Structure 1
Amino acid sequence: MKLPIFCVQCATDKKQKTNQMTMVDIRDDGLYQTVCENNHVNIVALQQQKFEILFDIGAYAILDGYYREAVSSFTTCIERFYEYYIKVISLKHEISEEVFLKSWKIVSKQSERQLGAFIYLFTIEKKCAPTLLSNSNIEFRNAVIHKGKIPEEKDAIKYGNDVLKIVRPILYDLKMNYTKYVDKTIIQYLEAIKQKTPDKKNPNVMFISTVLSIAKREAHWDKMSLENFLVEMQKNRKQF
């Protein structure tokens, strides 16, 4: 998955005849620095949370024929979404970032503990148990990730759609009913990126459309199948 970074200075300078664009690899820290052909230095922060990016990486892996990698990315996406949910609810209950990080460190290396934390926090918050991956999906995931099973395209797409069915309703609830805290997670995330920039200056903030999207509130967006998104992603690829 590549990310197009446009030069802000070229875009705003009327003397420049063309907008300079650089294709870069996705970074773990969300911070990008490029130098265009006119020697303009661009420092850009990608607004999207990790679970948003991971699902798209999985979708692009399907387009490229890497179905095993797609399953792995979808799996990590849902794990990071559980972390994000815990973060939002913690903010609602006025848990400081310092305390949250200290507690998260205890479970950060064990996915089963993270899942348990999500299940009980969701149950306390919503007064019902969350919908999780089915036993058949868990068996499929484990066979792919731990036993070297090589899935077919249809298997990877089905698994991706099943992940969407789990994440979307919860994410929609967060966007509609926890807006204040969702917005705060974005602010905190961008502030953390800012601390990594030279002289800790504010970077230009970049937003991209992702299959799972915190920013998009349109109902139809959360109803599109993975197959439909794959068609759109293939079209978008041809533009760059």
Structure 2
Amino acid sequence: MPFPTTCPTCGREVPVEFADSAIHEVTCPQCGARYVVYVRKHKFEVLFDLGTRALMDGYAREAVASFAAALERFFEFYVRSFALERAAGMDGDFGGALAALEGTWRHVASQSERQVGMFALAYLLREGREPEFLTAKALGTDFRNRVIHRGYLPRREEVDAYAARVFALIDRLLGELGPGAAHAELAQEQAFAAHLATLPEGVTAVFEEHPGMFRARRFGTMPPQKSAVQVNPTPPLNDAQAFAQALAERGPGLDVFKRR
């Protein structure tokens, strides 16, 4: 599914397919100008937004696959954030820590169960408690497997419930990560900088930040502090309410993902 870019030379809108690296090399079909679009967005964000857009367009089964992949990639994002945060607090060698992390992740890159194991340990070490949400029931694993592996055609309300569950979990963990998420963002910025340094003369660099279901929260901010005294506190939202509220607030921004 493409997103629109604007040629920095002639102003023409050019559709571009999302790249796995978030780095998009583009040639304008009208004027021939070459430019590179760096999208400041992590893979789990893109996948969840694509799932949300598919759900809004009525592609329920396709949405499940994107939501499931978003959760897996968020677990990777959490592990990376924790590992780099921990390294920054030790010797401060961010480059060395990033290289060690990349080498370590290669051992589990094609094994999702081992990735979940790495996430579980990272959560325990960072938060000091068991990740009680890592159960098949809490994660909706049976529903996911029926849809993706057994060809089950889900009802819209089932997909809504699954999306709400995944959204609420990622949103909660982002809140717990707080400033720790900034370390994974720094790693992405370094990857962009390394690619930028290789651009030949005449190629324009364009940096973009797209709206999305999670991007609106801006990673790296501290979660709101609880007041010692609360008067008529607002009841907490359940998963479905939280997802519905986010969809109402941020869904219009996902028009960038409309099928063309």
Distance, in Å, in 2 between the alignment partners of 1:171 and 1:135 is 21
CA distance in 1, matches of 2:74, 2:257: 26
Q: Which residue of 2 aligns with 1:203?
A: 205
State the superposition RMSD in angstroms: 3.1
> Where do 1:93-108 residues align within 5 Å?
93-94=86-87, 96-108=97-109
Q: Distance in 1 between matches of 2:18 and 2:149?
A: 25
1:109-148 to structure 2, matched below 5 A, reads 109-130=110-131, 131-132=133-134, 135=137, 137-148=140-151
**SS in structure 1 at match of 2:153:** coil
The answer for the alignment partner of 2:45 in structure 1 is 52
**Deviation string, structure 1 residues 180-227 (Cα, Å, up to 9, x no partner):** 42442332342365478558x88321110111228626989xx55254
Q: State which drifts further: 176-185 or 161-170.
A: 176-185
Normalized per residue, which structure has more helix? 1
Is 2:27 the partner of 1:26? no
Structure 1 residue 36 displacement after superposition:
5.1
| Structure 2 residue corresponding to 1:188, chosen from 176, 190, 197 | 190
| CA distance 1:43–1:234, shift in 2 (3 Å) | closer
Within the candidate set 46, 67, 72, 1:79 is matched to 72
d(CA) in 1 for partners of 2:198, 2:71:
26
What does residue 228 of structure 2 align with?
none
1:155 aligns with 2:152: no
TM-score normalised per structure 1: 0.81
Unpaired runs of 5+ in structure 1? Answer: 11-18
Residues 51, 62 of structure 2: 8 Å contact kept = yes
1:236 deviation in Å?
Answer: 5.9
Distance 1:73 1:196 in 2: 32
Q: Is 1:65 the counterpart of 2:58 in the alignment?
A: yes
Q: Contact 2:35 / 2:204 at 8 angstroms: preserved in 1?
A: no
Measured in 2, the distance between the counterparts of 1:37 and 1:2 equals: 18
TM-score, normalised to structure 2, is 0.75
**Separation (CA, whole Å) in 1 of partners of 2:182 and 2:249:** 28
Residue equivalent to 1:228: 248
How many positions carry a matched residue from both structures?
Answer: 228
